[in-house]
Amino acid sequence: MIFAFTMAFMLAIELISPSIKPPEVYLTPVSVYVDRYYVKKKEYGLPSTRSRVPVSLAPLSPVLLGVCYSVLGLHNVEINQRFYESASDGEREELVFHELGHCDMDRAHVEGSIYYKGFWITKTIMHCCGMINGFEYERFHDYYMDELFDDKHALKE
């Protein structure tokens, strides 16, 4: 019922004023990670192809850490509030970057491992079903940034 009301309200706003755009600044607890993502994206020289995607905390199901969705062409990310509150800095960054990979860069899930610098590691930050081991994410952080923002560069040892 709430979903139907929300959809009807958003449709009414779109019909009344299609020029309304989401604000460019989102002051939420996850802002530091969203800002970090867009700074990193700019460092890699990637263009901003759409408006900044809003990211917010939400009471999601315990099995869902985050979700990217689109309503009327506007992309949104929701992060599981309970997970976020107990997560480390690296886990928060990984999750926000992963979801923005979907919503901002249209990246899909990719499974698998890769042998990199003497270790078998998760192939991509865009993997499905859970988080990369915290030690692995921190140790190979540069690899995961290259893989997310410049996948041709990342796969070279």
* Residue 143: CATH number of its domain: 3.30.2010
The pLDDT of residue 157: 40
Residue 6 counted as domain residue: no
Does residue 151 register a pLDDT over 90?
Answer: no
Does residue 128 register a pLDDT over 90?
Answer: no
Residue 10 counted as domain residue: no
| Lookup: tokens for 147 | 């893989």
Number of structural domains found in the chain: 1
**Per-residue pLDDT band at 140 (split at 50, 70, 90):** very high
Residue 115 counted as domain residue: yes
What CA–CA distance (Å, rounded) separates 109 from 16?
36
**Per-residue pLDDT band at 152 (split at 50, 70, 90):** low
Question: Which residue in 26, 38, 25, 122 sits closest to 79, CA to CA?
Answer: 26
Overall pTM > 0.75: yes
Does residue 125 register a pLDDT over 80?
Answer: yes
What CA–CA distance (Å, rounded) separates 63 from 65?
6
What CA–CA distance (Å, rounded) separates 135 from 36?
20
Domain extent, residue 61, equals 24-154
